[in-house]
Amino acid sequence: MGMTMTQKILAAHAGFEKVEPGQLLRCKLDVVLGNDVTTPVAINEFEKAGFTKVFDKDKISMVMDHFTPNKDIKSAANTLQCRTFAGKYDITNYYDVGDMGIEHALLPEKGIVASGECIIGADSHTCTYGALGAFSTGVGSTDMCAGMATGEAWFKVPSAIKFNLTGKLGKCVMGKDVILHIIGMIGVDGALYKSMEFSGEGLSSLSMDDRLSMANMAIEAGAKNGIFAVDDVTVAYQKGRVNREYKIYEADPDAVYDEVYNIDLSAIEPTVSFPHLPENTKTIGECGDVAINQSVIGSCTNGRLEDMEMAAKILEGRHIAPGVRCIVIPATQAVYLESMRRGYLETFIKAGCVVSTPTCGPCLGGHMGILAKGERAVATTNRNFVGRMGHPESEVYLASPAVAAASAVAGKLADPRKFI
The residue out of 264, 293, 317 marking a domain boundary is 264
Cα(336)–Cα(100) distance, integer angstroms: 11
Cα(221)–Cα(218) distance, integer angstroms: 5
Cα(32)–Cα(144) distance, integer angstroms: 7
Contacts of 105 by beta carbon, 8 Å cutoff, 6+ apart: 212, 300, 303, 304, 331, 332, 335, 358
Over the stretch 191-204, which tens digit does the pLDDT of each residue have?
999 999 999 999 99
Cα(40)–Cα(141) distance, integer angstroms: 8
The proportion of the chain whose per-residue pLDDT surpasses 70, expressed as a percent, equals 100
Average pLDDT over residues 97-106: 94
On whether both 46 and 164 belong to a single domain, the answer is: yes
Average pLDDT, the chain: 96
Three-point CA angle 253, 255, 261, nearest 5°: 95
On whether both 41 and 9 belong to a single domain, the answer is: yes
The region that residue 358 occupies, defined by phi over 0 for left and psi between -120 and 50 for alpha, beta otherwise, is beta
On whether both 244 and 320 belong to a single domain, the answer is: no
On whether both 40 and 102 belong to a single domain, the answer is: yes
On whether both 201 and 279 belong to a single domain, the answer is: no
On whether both 352 and 387 belong to a single domain, the answer is: yes
Cα(407)–Cα(420) distance, integer angstroms: 13
pLDDT band at 236 (very low <50, low <70, confident <90, very high): very high
> pLDDT value at position 125?
96
Helices (H), 49-102: 73-88
Cα(180)–Cα(272) distance, integer angstroms: 7
Tell me which residue range forms the domain holding 302.
Answer: 271-418
Cα(98)–Cα(355) distance, integer angstroms: 15
Over the stretch 246-273, which tens digit does the pLDDT of each residue have?
999 999 999 999 999 999 999 999 999 9
pLDDT band at 100 (very low <50, low <70, confident <90, very high): confident
On whether both 157 and 287 belong to a single domain, the answer is: no
The residue out of 219, 237, 264 marking a domain boundary is 264
The CATH number linked to 111 is: 3.30.499.10
On whether both 352 and 328 belong to a single domain, the answer is: yes
Rounded to 10°, the helix 208-216/175-186 angle is: 30
Over the stretch 67-91, which tens digit does the pLDDT of each residue have?
999 999 999 999 999 999 999 999 9
The residue out of 223, 241, 264 marking a domain boundary is 264
* Burial (CB count <10 Å: 0-12, 13-18, 19+), residue 323: exposed
- For the entire predicted model, the pTM comes to 0.94
> pLDDT value at position 142?
95
Over the stretch 272-309, which tens digit does the pLDDT of each residue have?
999 999 999 999 999 999 999 999 999 999 999 999 99
Over the stretch 310-351, which tens digit does the pLDDT of each residue have?
999 999 999 999 999 999 999 999 999 999 999 999 999 999
The number of folded domains in the chain is: 2
pLDDT band at 420 (very low <50, low <70, confident <90, very high): confident
Over the stretch 204-231, which tens digit does the pLDDT of each residue have?
999 999 999 999 999 999 999 999 999 9
Residues 304/271/397/318 CA torsion (nearest 10 deg): 60
On whether both 410 and 352 belong to a single domain, the answer is: yes
On whether both 175 and 228 belong to a single domain, the answer is: yes
* Burial (CB count <10 Å: 0-12, 13-18, 19+), residue 170: middle
pLDDT band at 1 (very low <50, low <70, confident <90, very high): confident
Give CA separation, 418 vs 171, 220, 294, 314, 397, in Å. Answer: 10, 29, 20, 9, 20
On whether both 23 and 70 belong to a single domain, the answer is: yes
On whether both 250 and 394 belong to a single domain, the answer is: no
> pLDDT value at position 128?
98
